[in-house]
């Protein structure tokens, strides 16, 4: 081997070896990945995202993709002459707007992601929360200034049925889920925030990891004044921070909290603008972004200590 080849081969092998313990640790584990509308704008990034998800699949993990499409919905509503309005970080969704939301998420964004993933083989299958009762919701009325506000067809998740997703995973497929739900009370279809949907699915699936891709490096400690990213925080620390957070981050961080409190081992917010950010986060020692972990067991909890001693 020439000296030059030796020089380039060694660092490449080191990168693969660095992945070894992570490959072992994540083997067979479910990873729910939320792909946000703002991280979805660049064609190269979308292609890299699809490569990463397919890589996870072939490495023995079980990726489930949940996608948003906020900017794409706003653009389509604009074309239909419908003005986008947000309250409490959620889109005010009239009946007409709901038709557009459903068309864009299920008919455009989901189809595109499924197509990109399937360039690598017959892997991805798209569904919405409406399919097989995957996500059931009821009308959500956020509280603003002490009053419950009607923001139209916006749903609050009441139940998750993981049957269809688990069947797809068992069949070696990659489910791609659009954040739309159906109510079993009024039969209406509801618009659900995609971060919230991803977190609820991660908890219901007993996923090891929830990974939320977005258009910033992670959770900034003092946004918008500083770009210092909080790299790790416990559920309790996050709970304290939540009331201070600004709009875009609220559903993401509430989702992370819900996921870890629901049994997910780690919930991470990572920068979707970095190509292959998923691979970097899962398979290298250097995690990027913000990681939320469950609270450490109380030191005074004698039963927990006893249980540990027995294992
Ligand atoms: N503390 C914070 N740290 C990082 N970003 C924040 C924070 N507070 C608010 N944001 C805003 O949240 C945005 C991400 O949310 P959003 O636009 O809904 O993303 P996505 O389309 O990926 O779901 C960031 O671009 C940023 O403007
Ligand atoms: C109720 C509500 O606000 N739903 C979101 C659903 C899409 C979404 O969450 O997309 P991002 O992840 O790209 O923001 C919306 O209509 O924009």
Ligand closest to Cα of 72 equals: 2
Of the candidates 53, 159, 73, the one whose C-alpha atom is nearest the C-alpha of residue 113 is 53
**Quick one: pLDDT at residue 247?**
76
Of the candidates 201, 261, 271, 196, the one whose C-alpha atom is nearest the C-alpha of residue 229 is 271
ipTM entry: 0.95
Q: Which of 37, 230, 249 to mutate to test the pocket of ligand 1 (most atoms within 8 A of CB)?
A: 249
Confirm whether residue 218 is marked as ligand binding. no
Confirm whether residue 152 is marked as ligand binding. no
Asked if residue 36 has its Cβ within 6 Å of ligand 2, the reply is: yes
pLDDT, mean of residues 64-68:
97
**Quick one: pLDDT at residue 4?**
62
Please indicate, yes or no, whether the overall pTM of this predicted structure exceeds 0.80: yes
pLDDT, mean of residues 216-240:
93
Asked if residue 178 has its Cβ within 6 Å of ligand 2, the reply is: no
Residue 255 C-alpha to ligand 1 middle, in angstroms?
A: 13
Residue 159 C-alpha to ligand 1 middle, in angstroms?
A: 27
Band the pLDDT of 2: cuts 50, 70, 90: low
Residue 193 C-alpha to ligand 2 middle, in angstroms?
A: 5
Rounded distance, CA 152 to CA 140, Å?
8
CB 199 within 8 A of CB 210: yes
Q: Is the pLDDT of residue 306 over 80?
A: no
CB 190 within 8 A of CB 139: yes
Q: Is the pLDDT of residue 271 over 60?
A: yes
**Quick one: pLDDT at residue 227?**
86
User: Which ligand 2 atom lies nearest to the CA of residue 196?
Assistant: 9
Q: What is the mean pLDDT of the chain?
A: 91
Nearest CA to ligand 2 atom 15: 70
**Quick one: pLDDT at residue 218?**
94
Q: Is the pLDDT of residue 289 over 60?
A: yes
Q: Is the pLDDT of residue 288 over 70?
A: yes
Q: Is the pLDDT of residue 87 over 50?
A: yes
Q: Is the pLDDT of residue 10 over 80?
A: no
**Quick one: pLDDT at residue 311?**
29
Q: Is the pLDDT of residue 106 over 50?
A: yes
Band the pLDDT of 22: cuts 50, 70, 90: very high
Asked if residue 89 has its Cβ within 6 Å of ligand 1, the reply is: no
Residue 88 vs residue 49, higher pLDDT: 49
CB 287 within 8 A of CB 268: yes
Q: Is the pLDDT of residue 24 over 50?
A: yes
pLDDT, mean of residues 12-25:
90
**Quick one: pLDDT at residue 5?**
66
Nearest CA to ligand 1 atom 18: 248
Q: Which of 214, 269, 292 to mutate to test the pocket of ligand 1 (most atoms within 8 A of CB)?
A: 214
Band the pLDDT of 299: cuts 50, 70, 90: low
Confirm whether residue 91 is marked as ligand binding. yes
pLDDT, mean of residues 81-107:
96
pLDDT, mean of residues 281-299:
85
Give me the domains of the chain, ranges plus CATH numbers: 19-310 (3.40.1160.10)
User: Which ligand 2 atom lies nearest to the CA of residue 105?
Assistant: 7
**Quick one: pLDDT at residue 9?**
76
pLDDT digits (tens, 9 = 90+) for 170-203: 999 999 999 999 999 999 999 999 999 999 999 9
Helix (H, G, I), strand (E, B) or coil at 72: helix
Residue 190 C-alpha to ligand 1 middle, in angstroms?
A: 23
Residue 194 C-alpha to ligand 2 middle, in angstroms?
A: 6
DSSP line for 115-173: HHHGGGSS-EEEEETTGGGSEEEEE---EETTEE---BSBEEEEEE--HHHHHHHHTT-
Residue 129 C-alpha to ligand 2 middle, in angstroms?
A: 14
């Amino acid at each position: 081997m020439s000296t030059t080849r030796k020089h380039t081969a060694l660092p490449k092998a080191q990168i693969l070896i660095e992945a070894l313990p992570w490959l072992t640790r994540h083997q067979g584990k479910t990873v729910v990945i939320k792909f946000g509308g703002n991280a979805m704008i660049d064609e190269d990034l979308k292609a890299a995202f699809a490569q990463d998800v397919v890589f996870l699949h072939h490495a023995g993990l079980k990726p489930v993709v949940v996608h948003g499409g906020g900017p794409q919905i706003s653009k389509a509503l604009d074309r239909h002459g419908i003005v986008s309005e947000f309250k409490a970080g959620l889109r005010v969704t009239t009946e007409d707007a709901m038709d557009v939301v459903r068309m864009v998420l299920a008919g455009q964004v989901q189809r595109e992601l499924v197509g990109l993933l399937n360039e690598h083989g017959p892997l991805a299958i798209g569904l919405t929360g409406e399919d097989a009762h995957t996500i059931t919701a009821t009308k959500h009325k956020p509280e603003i200034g002490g009053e419950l506000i009607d923001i139209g067809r916006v749903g609050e998740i009441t139940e998750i049925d993981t049957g269809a997703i688990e069947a797809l995973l068992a069949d070696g497929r990659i489910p791609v889920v659009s954040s739309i739900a159906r109510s079993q009370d009024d039969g209406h279809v509801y618009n659900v925030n995609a971060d919230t949907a991803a977190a609820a699915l991660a908890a219901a699936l007993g996923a090891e990891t929830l990974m939320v891709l977005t258009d910033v490096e992670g959770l900034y400690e003092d946004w918008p004044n500083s770009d210092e990213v909080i790299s790790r925080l416990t559920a309790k620390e996050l709970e304290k921070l939540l009331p201070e957070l600004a709009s875009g981050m609220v559903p993401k961080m509430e989702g992370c909290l819900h996921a870890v409190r629901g049994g997910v081992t780690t919930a991470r917010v990572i920068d979707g603008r970095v190509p292959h950010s998923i691979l970097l986060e899962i398979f290298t020692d250097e995690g990027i972004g913000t990681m939320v972990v469950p609270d450490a067991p109380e030191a005074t909890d004698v039963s927990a200590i006893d249980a540990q001693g027995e294992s």
